[in-house]
Amino acid sequence: MLDAEQNGRFLNGHASTGKRVPHWDLAIHEGAGGIKSSVSDLSLFVQANLIDNNPIASTLQKSHLPISIGNSNRYFGWGEDNLLDKGILWHNGGSAGFNSYLAFNKELRVGVVLLSNYSFFTNVLIDYYVSQLTKWITKKEPSQGTMIDFTGKKILEEIIQRETSLK
């Protein structure tokens, strides 16, 4: 539940058409999508996952341990991918008018948080944001045609490339 100050900062969500979408009231399903957060909050969460000497490190580290099921690994709330031979843990989400993506690589101590109050089931707007962020990270003009499904992965890939080249 948001207090009055927090509710005043809660953005309106928008469909891919640009039409405003009402906030969802998830009631008993709050655990499945009721987290209301900011880039600042989630950046602190990423930092907590990357740093071993914080009060909740041992609890967070348990969620990073794989559980083998068949030929694949599963995690408590995390997906796993490899970018440029580096393992990342990620989680995404969305509700009407909102999308999110968070990923990090503990070895390089880098992470990315993407929050949008726009349901980007169309590529145009998110492609623009990704291209601008990619340009800022790499100091180069981005390639055309970034696919929406790979948005967060591409951003983290650029960060991993940059961090790897600095070491």
pLDDT at 47: 92
pLDDT at 130: 54
CA dist., res. 5 & res. 139, Å (int)? 38
Unique residue bearing structure tokens 């005043």? 8
One-letter amino acid at 74 equals R
Q: For 78-101, what is each residue's pLDDT tens digit?
A: 888 776 677 888 887 777 788 888
Q: For 4-61, what is each residue's pLDDT tens digit?
A: 888 788 878 887 778 888 877 777 666 666 677 888 889 999 999 998 888 888 889 8
CA dist., res. 15 & res. 38, Å (int)? 20
Query: How is residue 22 annotated by DSSP?
Result: P
pLDDT at 149: 43
One-letter amino acid at 143 equals S
The domain ranges of the chain are: 13-166
Q: For 103-135, what is each residue's pLDDT tens digit?
A: 888 888 888 888 888 776 444 555 565 566 656
